[in-house]
Amino acid sequence: MKLLALDIGGVCLRLTPERVFQSMNLDPDNLPDGYEKAYHDYSIGKIGSWQFAKDLQAIVEQDMTIAQIHDAWMKFLDTEDLKTTRLLEALWDRGWHIVFFSDTQPWHIEGLRDILSYSKRIPDAIYSCDVGAEKPSDTMFTAFEERYGRPDLYLDDRLCNIEGGLRHGWHAVQFTETTADELLAKLTDSRS
């Protein structure tokens, strides 16, 4: 059985951070002190959802309840990439085991499970908030290998993460708008 390490944001679904910034009245080019630290600490599981919301409450320049902070944060997640969905269906048809491999936080994990039509088909995952590090940290790649072994293919939209995979000897491919179509065409050609 072949193994795919699959990034989520920018690969499985589109991300729209600008909607978060707009909802919180933040200038993405001039984020307030504390925002980056709160984001990073939440992404690596150093703080939980409640503390993250409290930190954002203190950072934004408007009165927002915890529920409003949550709703604004969930606007980060947009829609499923249907090309990726078609690629995953083809891989499942060929017996691949697919594992999420993503820098993300608990709120977004809950949200992506609602957005992605196939989320229940991918119960296995390595998330930064569980590991305590973000890609391209060796900690993330080592955690994946220890639990699942070295993947046959790793897809991620961020070049620095692809470079991290290559350092670990992974077959890593940077995901672009054409990647899913190209991989699907190769799978179809290999069946001929």
Which one of 75, 95, 112 terminates a domain? Answer: 75
Dihedral angle, C-alpha 113, 119, 120, 125, nearest 10 °: -90
pLDDT at residue 58 is higher than 60: yes
pLDDT digits (tens, 9 = 90+) for 70-113: 999 999 999 999 999 999 999 999 999 999 999 999 999 999 98
CB neighbours of residue 174 within 10 Å: 16
Residues 43 and 69 in one domain: yes
DSSP letter, residue 25: T
Looking at the structure, tell me whether residues 150 and 85 fall in a common domain: yes
> Which position has the higher pLDDT, 185 or 72?
72
148 and 101, same structural domain? yes
Eight-class DSSP state of 155: E
Distances in Å between the Cα of 35 and the Cα atoms of 16, 22, 57, 61, 107 are 17, 14, 10, 12, 17
Q: Domain limits at 180?
A: 3-14+80-191
For 143-177, the pLDDT digits (tens) are 999 999 999 999 999 999 999 999 999 999 999 98
103 plus 132 within the same structural domain:
yes
Structural domains of the chain, count: 2
Phi first, then psi: give them for residue 165, nearest 5 degrees.
Answer: -65, -40
pTM as predicted:
0.94
Helices (H), 99-158: 106-115, 128-131, 138-148
Give the model's pLDDT for residue 62. 78
Q: Pairing mode, if any, of strands 3-6 and 13-15?
A: unpaired
- Taking only the tens place, the pLDDT of each residue in 123-139 is 999 999 999 999 999 99
